[in-house]
Structure 1
Amino acid sequence: MSDETPRLEADCSRCFGLCCVALPFARSADFPVDKPGGEPCRNLLVDHRCGIHDRLPEGGWRGCVTFDCFGAGQQVSQVTFRGVSWREAPGAAPTMYAVLPVMRQLHEMLAHLRDALGLGPDTTIVEALEAARAEVDTATAGTPDEVLAVDLVDLRGRVGGLLRTVSATARHERRRRDGIPRPPRRIRAGADLVGADLRGRDLRAADLRGALLIAADLRGADLRWADLLGADLRDADLRGTRLDDALFLTRPQLAAAHT
């Protein structure tokens, strides 16, 4: 799996600043201005670098700090469009902008499949994970039209099912091995825990997939082996929180929290 790791990490030096052009954003706590999709950010330089990259939070550009393309930017720039930028081929720009968010979802799936394989599931599940990874990987190498034709709903559903199975098995085994008690009923997948006081709670091996943990106080909580796939951690207080081996926790989630 180590051969995939660099490809699933953003390399802005090999990207055409696509996230700074293709994606829209609205004036909010995350951005100081409005910007429609397809319009270059006012901070984007002619060499595709960000002019204020070293001071984004101070300028109110928090959304940029929490965004991660999982390497989709350089894939679209260097592979899908073979090194020809939106500036060099303006006629292809709209297609390039449409491909980016699809590619990002594909790369995020690859990252989660890699992590699932690292949990050491049984042979049958390994074969299913490898098959899914091969399918997603093939999709990332397609032409622009082929990438746009990917049925993301179907693919994400099937990949999500595999990840759910791996997570449930790994967490059950961890609870059995370490005698971890089951969490309270409100600590569950998709739970609304906005602003919840969870300080110091034992949340080991909990299923918090898709949970709303916005502004939750998790100081000193133990989230080892908890499934955090898709959990919303915006403004959650994670100071002193144990996150060792938390399942499917991503860089954007951590960037959005207070650590």
Structure 2
Amino acid sequence: MDLIPLTPVDRRGGLRADCSRCVGLCCVALAFARSADFAFTKDAGDPCVNLAEDYLCVIHPELRQRGFKGCTVFDCFGAGQKVTQHTFGGTSWRDDPDVRREMFGMFPLVRQLQELLWYLDGAAGMPQTAPIRDDLERAYEKTEALTRASADDILSLDLDEYRGAIAPILHRASELVRAGVTLSTAAAGIQPGADLMGALLAGQDLRGATLRGAWLIGADLRSCDLSLADVIGADFRDTELGGADLGSTLFLTQFQVNAAHGDASTVLPPSVSRPSHWRR
């Protein structure tokens, strides 16, 4: 299948979901289990019963009230429209059953590559990373090229190996950005992958903290200063962020923000939107 070349666009714009240009891939390709996040169980490849003919959700304004909190948290980083429009040229899994397996298999892989692009773009835009700017740009271009590869090439990609190859440059970018921060006692005591589930850290100075891969489920980070803290891979499910300063937090994603609880006083960077379910 011939690939449609990407037209140069604003990077961040291409890394945000545009459901109007997708064919409901997150509502079909992915599985979910009945839980606090989903009202029922759905197998991968089965269309959600709430998916309309126009590929939009018929209960979208009421997802949380109807038991689908997980849907309001999910973010595909623009993978849905890229797989739909660029890899498959606008073809739908409904129109051509032959592309169904490839399309559904590709979607979660491209989503992970798009997430890497989000991190690389964010790092490249920081003045402190000037010494490795060329490396970041090369990694971005290589990853972007992978997202535009053929279905066969993407499905055969060893994604864990590729992510492992990108990790050192992101780690180095984080070190450069945080190098000038004097860590508080609280920030210095946090190690990558820390178990901070339910931790009471309200009001703490966490500037420059290494929160990579940290478990922050249900943690209280209200009024915390998270400036230049590295949160790549941190789990923000039900984390309290009311009044916290995340304006310059490193590698923060819409997915993480959607999973947390915040309010009108929470400071966010321009790259992410304030979730509608947050307190006003």
> Does TM, normalized by the shorter one, top 0.5?
yes
Secondary structure in 1 aligned to 2:70?
Answer: helix
- Correspondence for 1:107: 114
Q: Which residue among 206, 218, 234 is the counterpart of 1:231?
A: 234
What TM-score results when the alignment is normalised by the length of structure 1? 0.95
CA distance in 2, matches of 1:124, 1:245: 20
The size of the alignment, in residue pairs, is 255
Q: Which moved more, 1:123-132 or 1:92-101?
A: 123-132
- Residue aligning to 1:3: 10
Query: 1:81 is matched by which residue type in structure 2?
Result: F
In structure 2, distance between residues paired with 1:47 and 1:116: 37
Query: Contact (CA 8 Å) 2:218, 2:238: kept in 1 or not?
Result: yes
Matches of 1:232 and 1:82 in 2, distance apart? 35
Matches within 5 A, 1:1-259: 3-173=10-180, 175=181, 179-181=182-184, 183=186, 186-259=189-262
Alignment root-mean-square deviation, CA = 1.4
Q: Which runs of 5+ in 1 are unaligned?
A: none
2 CA distance for matches of 1:147 and 1:188?
34
CA distances 1:206-238 after superposition (whole Å, capped 9, x unpaired)? 000000011001111111110010101101111
In structure 1, distance between residues paired with 2:253 and 2:111: 13
Structure 1 residue 151: Cα displacement? 2.0
Give 1:41 deviation, angstroms.
0.2
Contact 1:203 1:224 in 2 (8 A): yes
Residues in 1 aligned to 2:246 and 2:129: alpha-carbon distance in whole angstroms = 24
Identical residues among aligned pairs (%) = 47
Please tell me the residue identity of whatever aligns with 2:27: C
Equivalent position SS for 2:28: helix
8 Å contact from structure 1 (residues 182, 206) kept in 2: no
SS in 1 for 2:162: helix
Q: Distance in 2 between matches of 1:123 and 1:242?
A: 25
- 1:95 to partner: Cα distance: 1.2
For residues 123 and 249 of structure 1, what CA distance do their matches in structure 2 show? 20
Return the offset for 1:127: 1.2
Q: Alpha carbons of 1:122 and 1:241: their partners in 2 closer, same or farther (altered >3 Å)? A: closer
Question: Deviations 1:63-92 (Å, cap 9, x if unpaired)?
Answer: 110000000000000011111100000121
Q: Secondary structure of 2:179's match?
A: helix
Task: Quote how far apart the aligned CAs of 1:122 are.
Answer: 4.6
TM norm structure 2: 0.88
1:184-209: CA deviation from partner (whole Å, max 9, x where unpaired): 55412100010000011110010000
- In 2, Cα distance between equivalents of 1:183 and 1:169: 21
Deviation at 1:121, TM superposition (A): 4.0
User: Hey, what's the Cα distance between the residues in 2 that align with 1:108 and 1:183?
Assistant: 29
> What is the identity, as a one-letter code, of the residue corresponding to 1:237?
E
Structure 1: distance between partners of 2:130 and 2:190: 31
Counterpart of 2:278 in structure 1 is none
